[in-house]
Amino acid sequence: MEFEISGDELVKKVEELSGQNIFSCYQCGICTGSCPFAAEMDLGPRRMIASLIEGRAEVLQSNTPWICASCFQCVVRCPNDIDIAAVSEALRQMTQRKGIDHIDLSHIPAEERKRIPQIAFVGNFRRMTR
Amino acid sequence: MKLPFYPGCSLKAQGKNFETSGVAAARALGVELIEIERWNCCGTVYSLTGDDLMRQVAPVRNLIRVQEIGGKRMVTLCAMCYNTEKRAGLRVRRDKEDLEKMNAFMDEEEDYRGEVDVVHLLEILRDEIGFERIRDRVEKPLRGLRVSPYYGCMLLRPREAEIDDGDRPRVMEDLLRALGAEVIDHPYKSHCCGSYHTVDDPQLVAGRAQAILSSITEHGGEMVALSCPLCKYNLDDRQELVAQIYPDFSKIPVVYFTQLMALAFGLEDAMGFDNHYVDPRPLLEEKGFLQKIQV
């Protein structure tokens, strides 16, 4: 979907939701180097932050915040103490608050529904759906 | 010593053997874990946005349950519950305005005062029981069992929630050594297992499980010990998928650290080794820690 938001508004909103100063990032890349899922992401954490600094609203279409599972590896290593997981959460919630779910649960096989622990479902719904 | 205990949802279902073994092992060391009354789901993941106070209500409500009975601490076993409860508690302790809003919203509850400390059983074992006493309690030392600890994320990150040095944790290593086991170190002990993506992207999780478990096997580990029902599912049950994707993968049993305590303490009814995808019993029988049961 199209997000009608200017670069300035986007950054302001992300900073407000996450409580982080995006512009304190100096692009060292230790976040992406630490991320266990960087290979699966289109941007990865460093370029996700770079996109925000540049005010590119396409970052809202990126798979990066959705793949981030908040493991906090990048967060504890960031030399500028940016909570990158909170930035991902802010980007996810900007989509969710438009009433959009990121996943469709109807295709989960019945056998998996029985075996997967509740914490996986609750965690998934909280991070991936509105 | 009696301590209020928050089990969380998964310890009442798929992770039942974690609860049973944890409560029994603690009791064997003189710690009574008393389940708090009327507890609710903690929400599993700590909400990371500043304006999303609604999602802090559930974990804080559980802290009120502890406050009501005069408790100073809440003990957890599940790493996800630990992290969510810990961070929610710290947030309202730090931010009095948030606490006031939440107290006003939870009108039917007594006001939360922000004083309950959330701790993990591993901290109690290290700081209050001590590994010396644990060693003394061991009836059946796990000699020759090569165990790799797996912490995952939620016991060690972010810094405000770490139960040990986040970069060089040793609490689980020290515990396993006290039980007589041989600890096998490996570089993946605090890497993410893929967490809740097991619901929407099992392949992603299988990739993580393969990397973590293969590294453990390569380093000489023959069993994995952990503290989270979701890590357990991803590293144990997901081995079925891992084996389909990676034909050379060799399966490895994954257990809760409390099950190894129950085993070493001789608590036969509390071990719960019958609830695993990769059955740990053949290895434990082979090593002489379990009697082979003829069926």
pLDDT band, very low/low/confident/very high, at A13 (cuts 50, 70, 90): very high
**pLDDT, chain B, mean:** 97
Predicted pLDDT at B294: 58
* Pair B141, B180: CB distance under 8 Å: yes
Q: What is the count of residue pairs from A and B with beta carbons less than 8 Å apart?
A: 128
- Which of A73, A76, A124 is nearest residue B192 as measured by Cβ atoms? A73
In this predicted structure, the answer to whether residue B40 has a pLDDT above a threshold of 60 is yes
* Beta bridge mates, B225: B149, B255
Q: Which amino acid is at A30?
A: I
Structure tokens at B25: 């092992």
Dump pLDDT digits (tens) for B149-190: 999 999 999 999 999 999 999 999 999 999 999 999 999 999
Query: B292 to chain A, minimum CA–CA distance in Å?
Result: 27
Residues of chain B positioned with their CB less than 8 A from the CB of A16: 50-51
- Of the residues A119, A127, A128, A129, the best mutation for testing chain B's interface (the one with the most B CB atoms within 10 Å of its CB) is A119
- In this predicted model, what pLDDT tens digit does every residue of A30-70 receive, in sequence order? 999 999 999 999 999 999 999 999 999 999 999 999 999 99
- B residues 167..186 contacting A (CB < 8 A): none
Q: Which of B9, B55, B204 sits opposite A119 (nearest CB)?
A: B9
More confident residue, A106 or B131: B131
- A19–B contact, CB cutoff 8 A: yes
Mean pLDDT for the stretch of residues B64-76: 98
Please report the pLDDT score of residue A67 as a whole number.
98
User: Does the beta-carbon distance from B200 to A124 stay under 8 Å?
Assistant: yes
Residue A2 pLDDT greater than 70, yes or no: no
Percent of chain B with pLDDT over 90: 98
Q: Average pLDDT, whole number, for chain A?
A: 94
Query: What is the band of B260 on the pLDDT scale with cuts at 50, 70, 90?
Result: very high
With residues binned 3-state (H G I as helix, E B as strand, rest as coil), the percentages for chain A, rounded to 5, are: 60, 0, 40
User: Residue A7 has which token pair?
Assistant: 């670069």
Can you give the pLDDT at residue A103? 87
Say what the pLDDT of residue A108 is.
86
Spatial strand order of the sheet with B182-183 comes to B182-183, B146-149, B223-226, B254-256
In the predicted structure, residue B203 carries a pLDDT above the cut 60: yes
Which residues from A are below 8 Å from B45, CB to CB?
Answer: 70, 122-123, 126-127
Percentage with pLDDT > 70 across chain A: 98
**Beta carbons of A18 and B200 less than 8 Å apart:** no
Q: Minimal CA–CA distance to B158: which of A68, A125, A86?
A: A86
Residues A69, B230: contact at Cβ < 8 Å? no
Contact check, Cβ <8 Å, A69/B196: yes
The type of residue at B272 is: G
| Cis bond before residue B158 (omega within 30° of 0) | yes
Q: What whole-number distance in Å separates Cα of residue B205 and Cα of residue B42?
A: 23
Any CB–CB contact under 8 A between B198 and chain A?
yes
Owner of token pair 């090569």:
B146
Q: ipTM above 0.85?
A: yes
A126·B45 Cβ contact <8 A: yes
List of residues 6+ apart from B183 with CB closer than 8 A: B147, B148, B149, B173, B176, B177
Of B13, B159, B198, the CB nearest to A76: B159
pLDDT band for B98, please (50, 70, 90 cuts). very high
Per-residue model confidence (pLDDT) at position B295: 57
Q: Is the pLDDT of residue B128 over 80?
A: yes
Distance in angstroms (rounded) separating the CA atoms of residues B133 and B185: 24
The mean-pLDDT minimum among A25-29, A114-118, B282-286 falls in A114-118
Q: For residue A1, what pLDDT band results from cuts at 50, 70 and 90?
A: low
Handedness of CA A77, A78, A83, A88 (dihedral sign): negative
